[in-house]
């Protein structure tokens, strides 16, 4: 169970015995890991987490009783929770996984090189690595899986003009369509801000590069016009948005389209 001193202390949780054993062994073989615990269900995992400090939990999603997403949400309320890496056979859970704060999402069977990349992210988040921190998780949502009539399709982040909050969901608006996905808008903002998406309003996340012009509505409020529709801009966020639009125009970051101007 022990490995190199100073390595990561991890827990593997999976109700399928062979999968649990396989991933546990892969982690024991890693030079980044110093200790590996294993649990066959969420309640056993919870007792182990409460009993000793852990750096990360490699967590299956589909389990009887309390599933992995429920356990991760529970751990998120701890004062100093371990980092979560989901390990599952189902791609469609990715948005929900990042929505509860996971730093990575591995598909079974897990390849050694993919596991090494996940451990690298864990090391950065936990301070075991001096490199850049949680920003490594941003590109994990460069494409968002969307369920539609039993099929999974992927919406590219670059195609999303704005996201609209609807409770624990957001509606992603592209030029031709919109898609409802389960992730809080605050969590989506964390992942997408580095890619040029900013809060324009409490309920709207806006792609700066997609803004064609700023205009006033009938009541004197400010709207950001995109080819997917108009987005309200609150007074609180107006100054930041104007500054970002100026910076983007200076860099030439805008998409091709009509000349951008302010009519407010």
Residues of the chain with CATH 2.40.50.1020: 153-262
When mean pLDDT is compared across 68-77, 111-120, 218-227, the lowest value belongs to 68-77
Rg of the chain (C-alpha set):
21
Burial label for 225, CB within 10 Å (0-12, 13-18, 19+), is middle
**pLDDT tens, position by position, 59-111:** 998 888 888 888 888 888 888 889 999 888 776 555 555 556 778 888 888 88
**pLDDT tens, position by position, 14-36:** 999 999 999 999 999 999 999 99
Core vs surface per residue 119-156: b (16+ CB within 10 A) or e: bbbbbbbbebeeeeeeebbbebbeebbbeeeeeeeebe
For the domain spanning 153-262, the CATH number is: 2.40.50.1020
Domain 8-134 has CATH 3.40.50.2300: yes
Contact 112, 106 (CB under 8 A): no
When mean pLDDT is compared across 73-77, 149-153, 169-173, 252-256, the lowest value belongs to 252-256
- pTM more than 0.85: no
Phi-psi region at 130: left, alpha or beta (left = phi > 0; alpha = psi -120 to 50): alpha
d(CA 119, CA 121): 5
Residues of the chain with CATH 3.40.50.2300: 8-134
d(CA 151, CA 244): 37
């Amino acid at each position: 169970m022990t490995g190199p001193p100073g390595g990561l202390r991890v827990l593997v949780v999976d109700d399928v015995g062979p999968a649990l054993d396989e991933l546990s062994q892969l982690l024991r073989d890693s030079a980044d890991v110093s200790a590996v615990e294993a649990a066959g269900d969420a309640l056993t995992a919870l007792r182990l987490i409460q009993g000793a400090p852990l750096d990360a939990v490699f967590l299956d999603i589909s389990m009887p009783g309390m599933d992995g997403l429920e356990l991760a949400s529970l751990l998120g309320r701890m004062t100093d929770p371990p980092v979560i890496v989901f390990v599952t056979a189902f791609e469609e859970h990715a948005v929900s996984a990042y929505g509860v704060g996971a730093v990575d999402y591995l598909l079974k069977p897990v390849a050694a090189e993919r596991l090494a990349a996940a451990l690298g992210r864990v090391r950065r988040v936990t301070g075991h690595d001096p490199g850049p921190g949680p920003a490594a998780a941003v590109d994990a949502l460069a494409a968002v899986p969307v369920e539609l009539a039993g099929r999974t399709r992927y919406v590219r982040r670059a195609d999303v003009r704005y996201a609209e909050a609807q409770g624990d969901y957001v509606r992603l608006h592209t030029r031709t369509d919109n898609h409802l996905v389960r992730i809080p808008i605050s969590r989506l903002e964390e992942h997408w801000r580095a890619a040029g998406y900013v809060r324009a309003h409490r309920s709207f996340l806006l792609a700066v590069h997609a803004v064609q012009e700023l205009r006033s509505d009938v009541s004197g409020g400010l709207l950001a016009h995109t080819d997917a529709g108009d987005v309200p801009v609150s007074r609180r966020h107006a100054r930041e948005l104007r500054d970002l639009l100026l910076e983007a125009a200076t860099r030439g970051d805008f998409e091709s389209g009509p000349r951008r101007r302010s009519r407010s």
